[in-house]
Amino acid sequence: MLLFVSQDAHEFLIFLLNELVDILEKEVQAAKDDTESSSLPPERTTNGSKVTQADDIHKEPLVTWVHKKFQGILTNETRCLRCETVTARDEIFLDLSLDIEQNSSITSCLKNFSSIETLNADDKFFCDKCCSLQEAQKRMKIKKPPQILVIQLKRFNYIEQLGRNKKLSYRVAFPLELKLIDYVEEADAVYSLFAVVVHMGSGSSHGHYVSLIKSHHHWLFFDDENVEMIDESAVQTFFGSAQEYSSNTDHGYILFYERDVTNNHD
């Protein structure tokens, strides 16, 4: 797979999560093999003791803590404009990658993400009921919001004319508190921002990553081995540049929001 940036932080995150799932699955499998092939007495616990229900896991797909923390469900709804049939397809996701616009907000990017898109011309939809290509309306809904919402801002876009990726320095405001409409529980999910991966540099193939992490009610700025405390209001300085040519090259790239369970009134 081609990397968008020489060492893209988002690529790495996805790699890491997948690798974790792999390891966890192998661990469970090994533990299961162990208990199945072993003639050891049951009271002797092993390292894999947390997986006691090995038989159940064998039947159902394994739900690791990676899934529990990061996985959400999207519904891709397509409505055929001829027969009005709605086709809904659920998809799981570990993160959302959002197109960005200059001087916008995460709220606005999410709105665009879930906005209705019309499929027509060369991009028609094959309707099973009509048995033909038809014009249709498509919409992405977040059906089940994840525990940890990871948002990647698509700052590295491929420019055909240039034949390479270009970094978009757009200013995208991200609030400390965010909501997603929860279609399952009918109560909107409240999220709090707790970490930001910042890309520094003007190009897409070079630069430097730093991160902002909220720990014990304080925001910390991590730059390699240097860690310093910053004021909450300084988070805003990583929104991006309101104008294309700006000396500010430090831009929020990956946002981590955690669902707030205490703030879940009615």
219 phi, psi to nearest 5 deg? -90, 130
Cα–Cα–Cα angle for 105, 107, 110, rounded to 5 degrees: 110
Find which of Zn ion, another protein, none residue 83 binds, CB within 5 to 8 Å per kind.
Zn ion
Contact between 92 and another protein by CB under 8 A: the answer reads: yes
In total, the chain counts a number of residues equal to 266
How near is the Cβ of 133 to Zn ion at its closest, in Å?
10
Q: Which does 113 bind (CB under 5 to 8 A by kind): Zn ion, another protein, none?
A: another protein
Only one residue has tokens 């910053």, namely 230
Helix or strand run (H / E) with residue 55:
helix 54-59
Nearer residue to another protein within complex by CB, 23 or 40: 23
The candidate with the shortest Cα–Cα distance to 140, out of 110, 104, 120, is: 110
- Residue 80 touches which member of another protein, Zn ion, none, C-beta under 5-8 Å by kind: Zn ion
Please name the residues in contact with 237: beta carbons below 8 A apart, sequence gap of 6 or more.
248, 250
With the C-alpha atoms ordered 115, 120, 124, 129, is the resulting torsion angle positive or negative? positive
Dihedral (C-alpha) 106, 107, 112, 113: value to the nearest 10 degrees? 70
- We find the least distance from the C-beta atom of residue 40 to another protein, in angstroms, to be 31
Return the range that interacts with another protein (CB under 8 A); candidates 27-35, 51-59, 69-77, 215-223.
69-77
Give the binding range for Zn ion (CB under 5 A) out of 73-81, 104-112, 191-199, 202-210. 73-81
**Does residue 178 interact with Zn ion by CB under 5 A?**
no
Single out the residue of 232, 211, 213, 231 nearest to residue 223, CA to CA: 211
Count residues contacting another protein (CB under 8 A)? 67
* Residue (of 196, 205, 193, 122) closest to 152 by Cα position: 196
From the list another protein, Zn ion, none, pick the one residue 115 interacts with, judged by a Cβ distance below 5 to 8 Å according to partner type: another protein
**Candidate segments 130-138, 150-158, 192-200, 237-245, binder of Zn ion by CB under 5 A:** 130-138
Among 10, 214, 251, 259, binds another protein (CB under 8 A): 10
**Chosen residue from 45, 115, 132, 215 binding another protein by CB under 8 A:** 115
Q: CB nearer to another protein: give 47 or 164.
A: 164
Residue 82 interacting with Zn ion (CB under 5 A): yes
CB-count burial class (<10 Å; 0-12, 13-18, 19+) for 69: middle
End-to-end CA distance of the chain, in Å? 45
* Contacting residues toward another protein, per CB under 8 A: 4, 10, 14, 17-18, 21-22, 66-67, 71, 74, 76, 91-99, 101-105, 107-109, 112-113, 115-117, 138-140, 152, 154, 156-161, 166, 168, 171, 173, 175-179, 181, 187-188, 190, 233, 237, 242-244, 247-248, 265-266
* Contacting residues toward Zn ion, per CB under 5 A: 80, 82-83, 127, 129-130
